[in-house]
Amino acid sequence: MIIDKVKKVNKTEKERTKNKIAANMMIGKWVKCDECKEIIYKEELHKNLSVCPNCGKHFRLSSRRRINQIADEGTFTEIASEIQTKDPLNFDGYLKKVEILKEKTKIEEAVKCGICNIEGEKAVIAVMDGNFLMGSMGSAVGERITIAIETAIEKRLPIVIFCVSGGARMQEGIVSLMQMAKTSSAIAKLNEEGLLYISVLTDPTTGGVTASFASLGDIILSEPKALIGFAGPRVIEQTIKQKLPQGFQSAEFLLEHGFIDKIVERKDMKSTIAKIIRLHKGGKVEDG
């Protein structure tokens, strides 16, 4: 018994720090990088644009944080926020799940759209949010993105879409599938108008979003190491009955295969987008 007590008192300094870290993690001040396993102070992570200061891993971003990183301060005006989740299949428990999620995440749907300035360049942006049902696209996401594209056409502005998505939203069935056609039709119109569309793929971009507007940018950027594909890795592995090689469907893999233009680190994203917008000014079609 006495020995036990001594043991308790003599816990090493290291162990005590570990406990402290663990305690702080419990109250949400620390996160562990799942790439390099480093424990990072959350505030430091956020100051570093949610990129691991140790290994450079780009953590997933909420739409709110992303907009703060890209839009000039105080310039973002939201559009299409009145478009809310619909339940065309009367799918059991779906709307209830959405209500709980809205309460928990304080976000309304898996995309937030608006008009803002990016280094002074006015643009429409649509930012998907993986915290809301994996960024899946149902009628609200498709409708909001279509409104964003149509707003770009109407106001003759460039549009930037940040993609993150697990694919089409199953709970809305065929209606989700139709959003792929709807958004792609709107992009086709945008092209006829000679307006610029920059698509930014972030981790992960898959399924129906990859197979529609995400792949249709005039310029397609990606964050490093983002997973990008049509079929998810698990589905492919089940089909071919073997493990996929390391790095299959990564942004680097897509760059090598010719499907994206450029991989851009988060710290350079805003300036890169602004530069692309500036480079597209003054073409013949620009009449606004």
Rounded to whole angstroms, the Cα distance separating 262 from 252 reads 9
Around Cβ 169, how many Cβ atoms within 10 Å?
Answer: 28
Q: What are the C-alpha distances in Å from 150 to residues 47, 108, 230, 262?
A: 34, 21, 26, 26
DSSP for 170-213, written as a single string: GGGHHHHHHHHHHHHHHHHHHHHTT--EEEEEEEEE-HHHHTTG
As measured in angstroms, the least distance from the Cβ of 264 to other proteins is 19
Rounded to whole angstroms, the Cα distance separating 2 from 236 reads 59
Examine residue 62 and tell whether it contacts other proteins (CB under 8 A). Answer: no
For other proteins, the closer CB: 121 or 203: 203
Among 39, 79, 153, 170, binds other proteins (CB under 8 A): 170
The residue type found at 154 is: E
| Number of chain positions touching other proteins (CB under 8 A) | 51
Rounded to whole angstroms, the Cα distance separating 274 from 280 reads 10
Site string for other proteins, 69-88 (x = CB under 8 A): -------------------x
For other proteins, the closer CB: 33 or 221: 221
The candidate with the shortest Cα–Cα distance to 150, out of 203, 192, 109, is: 192
Examine residue 227 and tell whether it contacts other proteins (CB under 8 A). Answer: no
Examine residue 222 and tell whether it contacts other proteins (CB under 8 A). Answer: no
Examine residue 91 and tell whether it contacts other proteins (CB under 8 A). Answer: yes
Examine residue 177 and tell whether it contacts other proteins (CB under 8 A). Answer: yes
For other proteins, the closer CB: 50 or 183: 183
Among 171, 202, 222, 250, binds other proteins (CB under 8 A): 171
Q: Is the peptide bond before 204 cis (omega within 30 degrees of 0)?
A: yes
For other proteins, the closer CB: 3 or 240: 240
Which residues, 200 to 219, sit near other proteins by CB under 8 A? Answer: 207-208, 210-216
Examine residue 246 and tell whether it contacts other proteins (CB under 8 A). Answer: no
Which residues, 122 to 161, sit near other proteins by CB under 8 A? Answer: 139, 146
The candidate with the shortest Cα–Cα distance to 275, out of 203, 181, 205, 196, is: 196
Examine residue 252 and tell whether it contacts other proteins (CB under 8 A). Answer: no
As measured in angstroms, the least distance from the Cβ of 211 to other proteins is 4
Q: Which residues of 26-50 are buried (b: 16+ CB within 10 A; e: fewer)?
A: eeeebbebeeeeeebeeeebbebbb
Which residues lie near other proteins (CB under 8 A)? 88-89, 91-92, 139, 146, 168, 170-182, 184-189, 191-192, 207-208, 210-216, 228-231, 235-236, 239-240, 244, 248-249, 257-259
